[in-house]
Structure 1
């Protein structure tokens, strides 16, 4: 039985992306055409995330970008504001500490989008921070945070922003320039629907200036974003770039541009709304109270159903891989990924048909069918 996965990333990869990765490549160290292609790809990614800032494409999974941003900005003794309403948001504190910074964690309700009034009140009391970190979509809970309120507020206090937009980029409007993001981080394997292996980072002039004015050198070679700033002009990368992976991402970005950025994001919005409405009408509970992402939906299962057993039965009996969560949500919720290539009606019909079958046989009764409810809300 073929197994289909609907995790909140990595996502399904389209055939034309796989084929692009199999093509003969240019020499990424010496061929001027490769530098031209790399530069244009960065600009096209910039169109999708809404920035004219330089976009760097790095060899490494999305976590690379998070650590690289902290490595490049943090000097020993720097105070860094870590905005946290989820597991990944909390994790930024570890990167800050590794590079000698002092993380100050401001915690928010994990069932809701960040409370910007609370943030405003906090910054009025204390705003002596070099930069702040936050996650746009924290995938373990699916919470989406309001960049348009948070990042301009940070900017008014002279605080740079580092935003993990790995799980939102493409599927959600990020609008990095309009929302005043200084470093916006994304990755190949989420809504962009390319294989795992690449990080991208848009970097503002203010962020580059902060790196250039450091009193001590950046304490990493591989994590040094500043070393990429003049790569195109100098025709030199700090390490050999993974040309085949980048050709695959080039094709994946073209898939989004061919569909249209607005149309791509609107597809995510419509499907996410239909998923949430179907779940509610079926009688299950969404984990969050607000701040719902259009790329992942997190569902609380009835107490009578063992989440681990439910997920194992979906895989064994229906060939469906859904995801649980991690940390404090382990064995409490399931996560339905609907981003990139997985954000389409056919794929979600398969998910809900399989869920209908297994959940009923595990004793949960509803007068409705998830599949039929989803179709109704997509109409």
Structure 2
């Protein structure tokens, strides 16, 4: 069995696995399930300080990104795509799929969005129905200040759709203070449940925008409005994956009980970055490091496949490569949720120490030893 230290999915705690094995009922007909589902949604609202509506959808986190765009976009709508990472850029595909015009605001992939520069841009052109932005862009690990960005967008009357799949629960996030209109999350990152569920937080403004559309939403499965009255009507648009949601509820309880969750992520991430750089490896980012994932440049004359293969096959530690413009250029360590602990990170860095030694790449110090000194 591999130690899963990828940039998501993450390791899953035993109580989450056990919750998924419990006896289930018919989630369409059993009224108790509607109460259970609502309680979990209420917990999600409480954890992220949202006064809007929270929903759990049956589908991996990408479903949330598409649902936000499907539900907000009408043909011809101009949508600002804030692009400082691969997932940020990817929002454009969903916008155009539903007939919108994606206007790219592309900036440096190695640092967070400059909020003042974005303000300068909007002063010249703010004719957008909504904007998309990524909290933590997992391929690069860059962390954007979504509170500042979304408050700026609200100032210009622009709705916001935020991808925090790899940010939430590892980085502090307050939906109301950030004025986020649709927040998208997933079960498999810092929440540390298995993949398969999308989490959505929807503001009243976003709901009003969807309800006042002139054209119908061009999707059924990705239509957020179909969930609006689930509790009143005791009806879901499709049969909910009840075992997955029971597991999610256990993971939510784990987060609620973890009072030092953000400090833990910060401590592990900081020590990891320091150990890696002092060993002589280079981080991909110049600034704006997320506390959920660390992205390391592949040294010259080495290949990512070599590093990943040795770590996985010889040391049973699985980390991530990357794709798109970063394919072959970086390796990624996910220290979020259940992965964010001293023991597992020490084992991961120890495996990296040995892997680079086998590949003939000299390190200036042991990453494992330095990490343990720092934590």
TM-score normalized by the length of structure 1: 0.97
Structure 1 counterpart SS, 2:320: coil
Deviations 1:29-80 (A, max 9, x none): 1222111111110111122222121101000000100001100000001000
**2:356·2:363 contact (CA, 8 Å) conserved in 1?**
no
State which drifts further: 285-294 or 301-310: 301-310
Tell me which residue corresponds to 2:346.
349
Aligned mates of 2:98, 2:298 — CA distance in 1: 40
Aligned mates of 1:236, 1:331 — CA distance in 2: 46
Aligned mates of 2:341, 2:302 — CA distance in 1: 28
**2:186·2:198 contact (CA, 8 Å) conserved in 1?**
yes
Is the counterpart of residue 302 in structure 1 residue 302 in structure 2? no
Within 5 Å, give how 1:230-269 maps onto structure 2: 230-260=229-259, 263-269=260-266
Compute the displacement of 1:301 (Å): 2.5
Structure 1 counterpart SS, 2:308: helix
State which drifts further: 170-179 or 205-214: 170-179
Aligned mates of 1:366, 1:276 — CA distance in 2: 14
Tell me which residue corresponds to 1:315.
312
Q: CA RMSD in A?
A: 0.9
Aligned mates of 1:244, 1:77 — CA distance in 2: 40
Structure 1 counterpart SS, 2:90: helix
Tell me which residue corresponds to 1:363.
360
Aligned mates of 1:238, 1:189 — CA distance in 2: 23
Aligned mates of 2:81, 2:213 — CA distance in 1: 21
Is the counterpart of residue 280 in structure 1 residue 277 in structure 2? yes
**2:60·2:198 contact (CA, 8 Å) conserved in 1?**
yes
Is the counterpart of residue 333 in structure 1 residue 326 in structure 2? no
Aligned mates of 1:231, 1:49 — CA distance in 2: 21
**2:185·2:200 contact (CA, 8 Å) conserved in 1?**
yes
Tell me which residue corresponds to 2:160.
161
Within 5 Å, give how 1:1-379 maps onto structure 2: 2-260=1-259, 263-378=260-375
**1:26·1:33 contact (CA, 8 Å) conserved in 2?**
no
Runs of 4+ in 1 over 6 A off after TM superposition: none
Compute the displacement of 1:159 (Å): 0.3
Compute the displacement of 1:358 (Å): 1.2
**1:164·1:186 contact (CA, 8 Å) conserved in 2?**
yes
Compute the displacement of 1:304 (Å): 2.8
Compute the displacement of 1:364 (Å): 1.8
Compute the displacement of 1:187 (Å): 0.5
Aligned mates of 1:304, 1:48 — CA distance in 2: 45
TM-score normalized by the length of structure 2: 0.98
Compute the displacement of 1:27 (Å): 2.3
Structure 2 counterpart SS, 1:336: strand
**1:43·1:52 contact (CA, 8 Å) conserved in 2?**
no
Aligned mates of 1:163, 1:288 — CA distance in 2: 21
Q: Unaligned regions of 5+ residues in structure 1, if any?
A: none
Structure 1 counterpart SS, 2:198: strand
**2:298·2:328 contact (CA, 8 Å) conserved in 1?**
no
Aligned mates of 2:278, 2:232 — CA distance in 1: 56
Compute the displacement of 1:366 (Å): 2.8
Aligned mates of 1:221, 1:307 — CA distance in 2: 40
Deviations 1:79-138 (A, max 9, x none): 000000011111111101011111101001000000111100110000010000011011
State which drifts further: 42-51 or 341-350: 42-51
Pairs aligned (count): 375
Structure 1 counterpart SS, 2:93: helix
